[in-house]
Amino acid sequence: MEPPSAGTRRRRVIAWLAMAATAAVLTVAFTAPYGSLNQQTYLLDPLHRAMPELFRRDWFVGETPPYLPVFGWLAQWLYAIDPEGPVAVLAANFAVTFATYAALYWLVTAVAPARGRVGFAGFVIVASFVTVTMGRAMGGNYLLAGYLQPLSLATLGWIAAMAALVRGRYRGCGAALALSGLLHVNYLVLGIGLFTLAALARRAGRRELAWLLVPQLVVLAVFLPDLVAAAGPSEQAVRILVDFHAPGHYRAGRLISWIPPLAGWQLAGLAALPLVDDARREARALWWFSLAAFAVSVATALLVRLPALEPLTQVRWSRIAPFGQLACQVLVVAALVRQASAPTRATARGSAPGSPAARSDAAQSAIPLRASLARRAWAAAAIAAALLLNGRSLHTPWSVTMIAVAGVAAVLAVPQRPARWAAAALAAVALAVALWASPRGAGMTTVPDGSPGERALEDWARTSTPTDALFAAPPDLYGFRLLARRAVIADTKSPPLQPALLVPWYRRLCAMVDRPDVPTHEAVEQLWYQLAPDQLARVARAFDADYIIVAANTHLPGAPVYANAELAVYRAR
């Protein structure tokens, strides 16, 4: 194999620099504040490891197993660098998200080689679309969240593994999957079967399968004792998981409702596959991966509907769905790129443009190497259906969906030269929409998440209360535990990892609102604000809490030790 020419190397460097600039812009725009959403649970273990004096009386942090111990061990060093947290955590999130876009570029260029403006446009379209939609699919699972969490690292590893798989690099694929599984054991369990199926469909040999499986099995052996020792879910624990905690993630009916948009992308990927003339083997490998992901996601969503198999829902098979959906989206963009940059038949056969051989070939067929009109029309219709279904399931504005549909139709319908400009225009519009409409929160900022009143309360609690103080806090004040660095009785955001501990967690929440049973976690949050002063005092005594946090318009006996326009704090004893 001849080494690349100087011109080829220069174009590759320019393409990677352009990718880096795009990734940096999207990463900065698509960033949520420190302490957002799942960080309120996943950063507790790293913080406790870095500062063991914290959370000594917190049931969740002190008495339940950590969610993902390897992530906790790594992330604790962020607090060694930045004891406050925001700067180091945001910097780590930038690095991980930037690397995720780079892995996405490597995946896209596996089936849509970056040739000039049109090839690079393929990456911009995919990256922008994933940014706007978060890559959300079945069960509300997603690819990009905008803040550092274990899923961020697992997503990076899986996208890199997908790119390595379709390129036939099984060593890299196995290593990426093993690292992902080390940081998020759920992805380890799911990845072993999914990527093995995809590799078998790609006709991998025994040696290739060994490179793929051995690193994952080594990591699995490390986690196996804990997985085996964990008690299985009781019938009550399954009910708490499915009906009380997260019906959107686990209830079979909710999962099944996501099948139409997932099937729409699968159909679009199938229609796009014949349009990808070059990189055909890589495109087929990506298609088989998407089909395996689709089959597993749909089959498990249907199976857990059976009462006897409902406990299997705790595996959360739907985590696979966004990656199969992404594979189809990459195939769609690869088809658009190919149709916008197809060479003439004369050039494709190796004849120099303008030569007698080229003129002879052109006399026989002077048309671009583009698919037939019928095939392109079928692909356009399938892609449009996928975009419409996707927009409906994600409640995307119709204007955004119709712009995407019109852009796809323009690339596939017009002649080659206008198609090049149409593809570039679609990429530019997609990037602009991503920067305008991405759910990016406050963008890159070191101000923690929460309202002004919540942040003021958290600052007061950190500076004016003992380190081992226990708060009876509203169960929906999710960020208080992390940002105030004080123990709470329980919140509805942070259930224990082990299924057997779901029942004690549920009982604590019920006791917090003075009820024997509560149907949903939303009901717990509403009931807290309806408790009478004597009920709040009784709850605080039952858990030996030191302080009670209430809404500012709620008055308890005595004077508050702290109050602002949103919240007030009373001493419990």
pLDDT tens digits, 349-366: 444 444 444 444 433 333
Q: Is the pLDDT of residue 231 over 70?
A: no
> Between residues 324 and 433, which one has the greater pLDDT?
324
Q: What is the DSSP letter of 316?
A: -
In this prediction, residue 438 carries a pLDDT of 63
In this prediction, residue 394 carries a pLDDT of 82
- Of 267-281, 409-423, 459-473, least confident by mean pLDDT is 409-423
Instruction: Enumerate the β-bridge partners of residue 488.
Output: 471
Confidence of residue 112 (pLDDT cuts 50, 70, 90): confident
What percent of the chain clears pLDDT 90, i.e. is strictly above it? 53
In this prediction, residue 299 carries a pLDDT of 94
Q: What is the pLDDT of residues 59-99, one digit of tens each?
A: 999 888 888 899 999 999 999 999 999 999 999 999 999 99
Q: Is the pLDDT of residue 477 over 90?
A: yes
**Contact between residue 132 and residue 187 where contact means Cβ atoms under 8 Å apart:** no
Measured in whole angstroms, the distance separating CA 407 from the mean position of its chain's CA atoms is 26
Q: Is the pLDDT of residue 506 over 70?
A: yes
Question: DSSP readout, 249-284?
Answer: HH-HHHHHTTHHHHHHHHHHHHHHGGG--TTHHHHH
* Alpha carbon distance 230, 497 (integer Å): 10
In this prediction, residue 31 carries a pLDDT of 86
Confidence of residue 230 (pLDDT cuts 50, 70, 90): low
| Average pLDDT estimate for 374-403 | 85
| 3-class SS string, 510-538 | HHHCCCCCCCCHHHHHHHHCCCCHHHHHH
* Mean pLDDT of the chain, nearest integer: 86
User: Which phi and psi angles does 508 have, rounded to 5°?
Assistant: -65, -45
Q: Is the pLDDT of residue 133 over 80?
A: yes
* Alpha carbon distance 330, 283 (integer Å): 9
CB pairs under 8 A, 24+ apart, for 507-511? 508/59, 508/543, 509/475, 511/539, 511/542, 511/543
> Between residues 140 and 119, which one has the greater pLDDT?
140
CA angle, 465 then 470 then 471, to 5°? 90
User: Tokens 């400009």 identify what position?
Assistant: 421
* Alpha carbon distance 41, 74 (integer Å): 16
Q: What is the pTM of this model?
A: 0.91
> Helical H runs in 30-139?
39-42, 44-50, 59-63, 69-81, 86-111, 116-133
Give me the residue spans of the domains in the chain.
84-344+370-437, 452-571
**Contact between residue 253 and residue 316 where contact means Cβ atoms under 8 Å apart:** no
Which residues have CB under 8 Å from 51's CB, separation 6+? 79, 485
Q: Is the pLDDT of residue 367 over 70?
A: no
